[in-house]
Structure formats: C-alpha cells, structure tokens
C-alpha cells in the first residue's frame, strides 16, 4: 500500500491526517529496537503539538507491539481540542512537567495504580529557556520505566539551541542521548521535522 493510500485508510479509521501519518512513520522507522513497553503502556505528550498526537502514539504501540496505550497530555498547544487524550493537564502549576505533580496526577484522578512511563514525547520544543527545558527533560527521563524512552523531534531552526540543551543536560545532570541524533528524511518539511533524538532511563 502506498503512502497516500495509507493516509486515506488511517484518516477513515483513526482520523489521522498527513502530519500525523508522517509522525507515525517516523516512530516506526526511528524508535530504537531496544524499546520494550510494559504490558499496559503509558505515555506522556509534553506540550502536545498535534490534535491527534494521542492517536499517533496509540497507533504506534498497537501496530508495533499489539498493545493499547494510555496517553496523557501536559500543557498541550492545541486550545480546546484535548479529547484525543486520556487525561490532560494544563496551567502553570498542574501542567508544569518539571515536577512530580504533573506526572502523578493522571493516575490519582483516574484512580489507577501509579507506574513509570513507557513513552515520553516532546515534539518541537521552543527551547527558549534552556534550564527550564533541561528540568523538563530530566523529569521525563527520571519517570521512565527501565525500558522506556523519551523521544523528541527538533526543528531545523532549533538545532543550535538543541545542541545547547544537550550540553546543559550532560553538564548539569550527566544525561546524554541513548544514541546519535538521527536526521529525518522529510526534505521539504524541516520547519517541522529535522532531527529525532532518544533518551533512555539513566
């Protein structure tokens, strides 16, 4: 099945559009083979960028592992369109991914047992405040399961800032990516996709 036929099929089944289908293909191509989610995976989309980001993460886990996945969103950038997530946190306190509260609250409110996260996704962070984003990345990595991953997609315009973030993570927290950054093969869309990077439990 060609790409556009697959896009049409997923739009009918899941409501996924072109960008979401690209995200799904990127996950399938680039997520490390060592990634092994728990029996009941849990994911967090920090600063959720897409209306259907939750569906993309669920489709990836279903297609690759045959598992359902709960997806929470922290301070999504989509105003008023959060029905795609199992739980949404917003605001300066509740949605602050630098502290444990944002990571614990979905489990407490949904009355399900606390567990570490399998998949943390940070798409196109603006990286304006490097220490702040360093704290977000550190907390996301700290909350991972032993075989979990944090994935981030970086725009071409943010590549220099991302290098500064990696230097900060290494110097402040001794955190480094689990493998070299990978270029994303979308030549006409570097404004949204340029590099994907992964961090594991450290």
- Give the CATH number for residue 153: 3.40.50.150
Domain count, the chain: 1
Quick check: 171 pLDDT over 80?
yes
Q: Measured between alpha carbons, how far is residue 49 from residues 23, 66, 67 in Å?
A: 11, 25, 23
Q: pLDDT per residue over 90-149, tens digit each?
A: 888 888 999 999 999 999 999 999 999 999 999 999 999 999 999 999 999 999 999 999
Quick check: 68 pLDDT over 60?
yes
Q: Name the residue with higher pLDDT: 139 or 186.
A: 139
Give residue 75's domain range.
3-200
Residues in a beta bridge with 199: 150
Length of the chain: 202
Work out the angle between the directed axes of helices 3-14 and 18-30 (0-180°, nearest 10). 110
169, 91, 77: which is closest to 132 by C-alpha? 169
Question: What is the rounded distance in angstroms from the CA atom of residue 25 to the CA atom of residue 196?
Answer: 12
Its pTM stands at: 0.91
Question: What is the rounded distance in angstroms from the CA atom of residue 107 to the CA atom of residue 101?
Answer: 10
59, 183, 176: which is closest to 119 by C-alpha? 59
Asked whether the beta carbons of 140 and 169 are under 8 A apart, the reply is no
In percent, the amount of the chain with pLDDT more than 70 equals: 86
- In the chain the first and final C-alpha atoms are separated, in Å, by 39
Residues in a beta bridge with 152: 122, 197
Q: Name the residue with higher pLDDT: 2 or 55.
A: 55
pLDDT at 190: 56
């Amino acid at each position: 099945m060609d790409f556009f036929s697959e896009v049409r099929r997923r739009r009918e089944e899941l409501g996924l559009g072109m960008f979401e289908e690209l995200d799904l293909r990127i996950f399938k191509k680039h997520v490390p083979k060592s990634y092994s989610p728990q029996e009941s995976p849990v994911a967090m989309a920090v600063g959720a960028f897409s209306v259907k980001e939750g569906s993309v993460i669920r489709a990836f886990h279903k297609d690759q592992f045959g598992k359902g996945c709960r997806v929470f969103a922290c301070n999504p950038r989509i105003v008023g369109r959060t029905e795609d997530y199992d739980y949404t946190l917003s605001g300066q306190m509740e949605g602050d991914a630098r502290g444990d509260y944002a990571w614990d609250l979905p489990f407490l409110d949904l009355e399900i047992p606390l567990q570490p996260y399998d998949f943390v996704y940070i798409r196109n962070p603006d990286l304006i405040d490097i220490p702040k984003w360093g704290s977000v990345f550190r907390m996301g990595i700290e909350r991972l399961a032993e075989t979990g991953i944090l994935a981030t997609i970086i725009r071409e315009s943010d590549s220099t800032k991302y290098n500064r973030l990696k230097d900060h993570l290494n110097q402040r927290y001794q955190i480094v990516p689990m493998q070299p950054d990978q270029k994303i093969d979308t030549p006409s869309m570097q404004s949204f996709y340029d590099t994907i990077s992964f961090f594991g439990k450290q």
